[in-house]
């Protein structure tokens, strides 16, 4: 097996496994952190809308602009812009862990927008029913909005995960490693076509698996319904 | 008792102000089924939502069981709302929760212990006849079943008031009847005051004790349902009553009446319960020098009472006609002059 890999891809199994592990690490951690950031941002956007239950024109406008600004920067630029912050938080500007900062701040506003749309899909009548029962704002979020939007939020998380896989490849430019980096440095720059093809296949399989998993979970959530 | 005093609510829609409620006052006694009817946009829902403050009036006073609702803080308002159940046209159930969990929700929010919740949900499922659906999710239920769940949910915390906003408007006629029957049971067996908003006079006729008619943000007519049906005073009310008792006659017939050479009047006669306009009318023909011709006749059941409506043309001298009307009134028959212009068929429909 090792011979096979060394013969055809001019690299070691360790390198391949490490790349896969790096990708999983970066996608996994930034997905969790990004989701944890995105949910309150999305809730804030939904609740503070002028017709929302905590209507607040100024608060909504500020949050909306912040999300728009964050969303308008391509990941590669965001990564550079955030370098001082990254160094402050992680202690270094480069490497796999350093990539988590821009990855998280890249995916959070992206998913916040998707979550916002998911939560807005919940009929207004549901919130009215909740209020008529005497539910507090927190109870409305916890027992009505999140459970009703959950199927749609799972699909949004799936989309976010796939987007993150793409972003991690770019993170390779700050020495973050991962499958994308492998394709770039070994495959493309070293003219190692078989390796490049392998990474492409791995990425395709990866994305397909994520999408299928997301679809299944979302369908299960909705199909009870 | 629900007391709404001088309620005004103005919505700003773009550059235009919509006066959804214009100085509305209304008192609903305990134990009643009260109907609010009006065309779309009349302000019915807004008024209903002022009772539990889903809508806050711009001015006016809202008292429920003596409590000044507008003066309550957030926590106290939540507590009051638990005593006021609400059901909706679109049911507004959680699709992601079972029937059991939907009905349990108001109790969970109120912090009721789990074992008490279980017992109460079972009891409610029995009351709305859905005991076999506890683990079903709402999308698998029919419209009527969904509304039954809505009613069970609204009753969970033993409210004394139930607000129903077009609760049957999304249902077919048969299902509507079964839901209305259930609302009557809620009123009779549990003593809950029910406030029903609808644009269908049928709902009022079948269910309510008293009714208020709304038009352009005002209550234009109010009274016991039987009175309103037998003697609607406002034009809009007459149009609603006509959706049930269509006492109009063909245009050609109206033209013939207009051409009557002798002195005549057209009367709308109503009798409820024991009285019978038919025999009284026969008596009038014998005892007075009048000839009557029947233009319209019907019998309906309104709020559990039989209501008969006749429209007749009566010919005779003015003095005799007056005497005949008095005779009929003494016999317990309601008599009203019917305007010929309003009698013809091409007037257009209510709602
Ligand atoms: N949230 C709102 N914003 C703006 N206009 C509203 C709002 N709610 C109701 N209205 C307006 O107020 C009027 C009364 O509405 P509503 O009480 O819903 O009438 P109904 O229930 O009798 O059909 C309508 O003209 C409606 O468009
Ligand atoms: Mg309405």
- Residue pLDDT, tens place only, B51-84: 999 999 999 999 999 999 999 999 999 999 999 9
Compute and round to an integer the Cα radius of gyration of chain B. Answer: 24
Q: What is the pLDDT of residue B310?
A: 92
Segment B149-166 mean pLDDT: 98
Mean pLDDT value across residues B264-269: 93
Mean pLDDT for the stretch of residues B189-203: 97
Place of tokens 């429920």: B64
Confidence at A19, pLDDT banded by 50, 70, 90: confident
For the segment B311-330, what is each residue's pLDDT rounded down to a tens digit?
999 999 999 999 999 999 99
Q: What pLDDT is attached to residue B125?
A: 98
The token pair that represents B50 in the structure block: 């002022």
Q: Please report residues of B whose CB lies closer than 8 A to that of A147.
A: 94, 96-97
> What does the alpha-carbon distance between residue B195 and residue A89 come to, in Å, rounded to a whole number?
59
Residue B347 has pLDDT above 60, yes or no: no
How many whole angstroms separate alpha carbon B151 and alpha carbon A123?
Answer: 19
Burial (0-12, 13-18, 19+ Cβ within 10 Å), B173: exposed
Cross-chain residue pair A133–B77, CB shorter than 8 Å = no
Tell me the per-residue pLDDT of A171-219, one tens digit each, with 9 for 90 and over: 877 778 888 788 777 767 777 888 888 888 888 898 999 999 999 999 8
Contacts of A150 (CB under 8 A, 6+ apart): A221, B96
Q: How far is CA B281 from CA A53, B120, B270, B272, in A?
A: 61, 56, 11, 15
Mean pLDDT value of segment A109-114: 97
DSSP code string of chain A: -HHHHHHHHSS-HHHHHHHHHHHHHHHHHHHHHHHHHHHHHHHHHHHHSTTSTT--HHHHHHHHHHHHHHHHS-HHHHHHHTHHHHHHHHS-SSSHHHHHHHHHHHHHHHHHHHHHHHHHTS-HHHHHHHHHTT--HHHIIIIIIHHHHHHHHHHHHHHHHHHHHHHHHHHGGGT--SHHHHIIIIIITTT-HHHHHHHHHHHHHHHHHHHHHHHHHHHHHHHH-
Question: How confident is the model over B232-248, as pLDDT tens digits?
Answer: 999 999 999 999 999 88
pLDDT of residue A2: 76
The interface pTM score, or ipTM, of the predicted complex is 0.88
Residue A141 exposed, middle or buried by CB count within 10 Å (0-12, 13-18, 19+): buried
- Residue B111 reports pLDDT greater than 80: yes
The answer to whether the CB of B16 is under 6 A from ligand 1 is no
Instruction: Please tell me the residue having the least CA distance from ligand 1 atom 1.
Output: B11
Give, in order, the Cα–Cα distances in Å from A160 to each of A111, A112, B136, B235. Answer: 6, 10, 32, 60
All structural domains of chain B with their residue ranges: 2-243, 251-344
In chain B, DSSP assigns E strands to 2-13, 16-28, 33-38, 59-64, 67-68, 84-88, 161-165, 193-198, 210-215, 218-224, 264-272, 291-302, 305-315, 334-337
- Separation CA A59–CA A208 (nearest Å): 39
We find that the CATH architecture of domain B2-243 is 3-Layer(aba) Sandwich (3.40)
What pLDDT score was predicted for residue B58? Answer: 96
- Across the interface, of A125, A133, A150, the residue whose CB is closest to B106 is A133
CA A173 to CA A96: how far, in whole Å? Answer: 11
Cβ atoms of B270 and B308 within 8 Å: the answer is yes
Q: Report the residue of B83, B109, B140 to disrupt the A interface, i.e. the one with the largest count of A CBs within 10 Å.
A: B109
Residue-wise burial string across A77-91, b where 16 or more C-beta atoms lie within 10 A, e elsewhere: ebbeebbeebeeeee
Residues 6+ apart with CB under 8 A from A208: none
Q: Tell me the chain B residues in contact with residue A136 when contact means C-beta distances shorter than 8 Å.
A: 74, 78
Task: List CB-based neighbours of ion ligand 2 within 5 Å.
Answer: B 45
Q: Band of the pLDDT at B27, cuts 50, 70, 90?
A: very high
- The C-alpha of A138 sits at a distance from chain B's nearest C-alpha, in angstroms, of 11
**Mean pLDDT score across all residues of chain A:** 90
| Domain locations along chain A | 2-224
Burial of B270 (0-12, 13-18, 19+ CB in 10 A): buried
Mean pLDDT to the nearest integer, A135-147: 96
Lowest mean pLDDT across A134-138, B12-16, B21-25, B192-196 = B12-16
Where is pLDDT greater, at A187 or B270?
Answer: B270
% of chain A at pLDDT higher than 70: 97
Distances (CA, A) of A3 to A8, A14, A16, A202: 8, 12, 14, 20
| Interchain CB contacts (distance < 8 Å): A and B | 65
> What value does the mean pLDDT take over residues B266-287?
82
More confident: B131 or B285: B131
Predicted confidence band of residue B350 (pLDDT cuts 50, 70, 90): very low
R_g over Cα of chain A: 21
Tokens 């779309």 locate to B40
- The answer to whether the beta carbons of residues B63 and B3 sit under 8 Å apart is yes
- Cβ proximity of B212 and B221 under 8 Å: yes
**Assigned token pair, A82:** 């955030």
Element (H, E) at B154: helix B143-155
A2-224 folds as MetI-like fold (1.10.3720)
Neighbouring C-alpha atoms within 13 Å toward the C-beta of B275:
18
**How does residue B275 score in pLDDT terms, banded at 50, 70 and 90?**
low
Superfamily assignment of B251-344 in CATH? ACT domain (3.30.70.260)
- Shortest CB distance from B90 goes to which of A123, A135, A136? A123
With beta carbons under 8 A apart, name residues in chain A contacting B157: 133
Structure tokens at B93: 């159930």
A86 sits in the region (left: phi over 0; alpha: psi -120 to 50; else beta) called alpha
State the helix-helix crossing angle for A193-224 and A146-171, rounded to 10 degrees. Answer: 170
Kindly identify the ligand whose nearest atom is closest to the C-alpha of B41: 1
């Amino acid at each position: 097996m090792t011979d096979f890999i060394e013969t055809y891809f001019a690299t070691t199994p360790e390198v391949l496994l490490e790349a896969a592990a790096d990708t999983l690490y970066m996608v996994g951690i930034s997905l969790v952190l990004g989701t944890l950031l995105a949910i309150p941002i999305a809730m804030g956007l939904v609740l503070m809308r002028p017709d929302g239950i905590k209507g607040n024109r100024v608060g909504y406008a500020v949050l909306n602009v912040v999300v728009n600004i964050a969303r308008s920067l391509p990941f590669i630029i965001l990564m550079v812009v955030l370098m001082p912050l990254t160094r402050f938080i992680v202690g270094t500007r480069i490497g796999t862990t350093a990539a988590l900062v821009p990855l998280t701040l890249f995916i959070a506003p992206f998913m916040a927008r998707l979550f916002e749309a998911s939560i807005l899909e919940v009929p207004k009548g549901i919130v009215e029913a909740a209020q008529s029962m005497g539910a507090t704002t927190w109870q409305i979020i916890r027992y009505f909005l999140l459970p009703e939007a959950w199927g749609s939020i799972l699909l949004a998380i799936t989309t976010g995960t796939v987007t993150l896989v793409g972003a991690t490849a770019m993170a390779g430019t700050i020495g973050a490693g991962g499958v994308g980096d492998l394709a770039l440095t070994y495959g493309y720059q070293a003219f190692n076509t078989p390796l490049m093809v392998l990474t492409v296949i791995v990425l395709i399989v990866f994305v397909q698996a994520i999408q299928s998993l997301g679809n299944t979970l979302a369908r299960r959530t909705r199909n009870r319904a | 008792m629900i007391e709404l005093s001088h309620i005004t609510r103005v919505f700003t829609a773009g550059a235009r102000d919509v006066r959804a409620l214009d100085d509305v006052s209304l008192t609903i006694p305990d134990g009643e089924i009260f109907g609010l009817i009006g065309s779309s946009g009349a302000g019915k829902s807004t008024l209903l939502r002022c009772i539990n403050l889903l809508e806050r009036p711009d001015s006016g006073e809202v008292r429920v069981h003596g409590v000044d609702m507008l003066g309550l803080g957030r926590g106290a308002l939540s507590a009051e709302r638990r005593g006021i159940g609400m059901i909706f046209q679109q049911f507004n159930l959680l699709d992601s929760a079972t029937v059991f969990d939907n009905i349990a929700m108001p109790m969970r929010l109120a912090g009721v212990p789990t074992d008490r919740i279980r017992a109460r949900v079972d009891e409610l499922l029995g009351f709305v006849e859905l005991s076999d659906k506890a683990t079903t999710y709402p999308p698998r239920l029919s419209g009527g079943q969904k509304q039954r769940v809505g009613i069970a949910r609204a009753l969970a915390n033993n409210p004394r008031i139930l607000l129903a906003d077009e609760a049957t408007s999304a249902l077919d006629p048969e299902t509507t009847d079964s839901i209305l029957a259930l609302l009557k049971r809620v009123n009779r067996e549990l003593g809950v005051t029910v406030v029903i908003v609808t644009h269908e006079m049928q709902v009022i006729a079948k269910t309510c004790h008293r009714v208020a008619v709304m038009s352009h943000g005002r209550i234009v007519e109010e009274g016991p349902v039987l009175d309103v049906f037998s003697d609607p005073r406002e034009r809009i009310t007459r149009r609603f009553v006509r959706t049930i008792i269509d006492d109009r006659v063909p245009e050609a017939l109206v033209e013939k009446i207009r051409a009557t050479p002798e002195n005549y009047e057209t009367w709308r006669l109503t009798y409820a319960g024991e009285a019978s306009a038919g025999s009284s009318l026969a008596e009038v023909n014998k005892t007075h020098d009048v000839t009557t011709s029947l233009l319209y006749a019907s019998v309906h059941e309104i709020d559990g009472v039989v209501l008969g409506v006749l429209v007749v043309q009566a010919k005779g001298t003015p003095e005799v006609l007056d005497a005949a009307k008095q005779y009929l009134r003494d016999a317990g028959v309601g008599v009203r002059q019917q305007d010929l212009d309003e009698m013809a068929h091409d007037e257009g429909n209510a709602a």
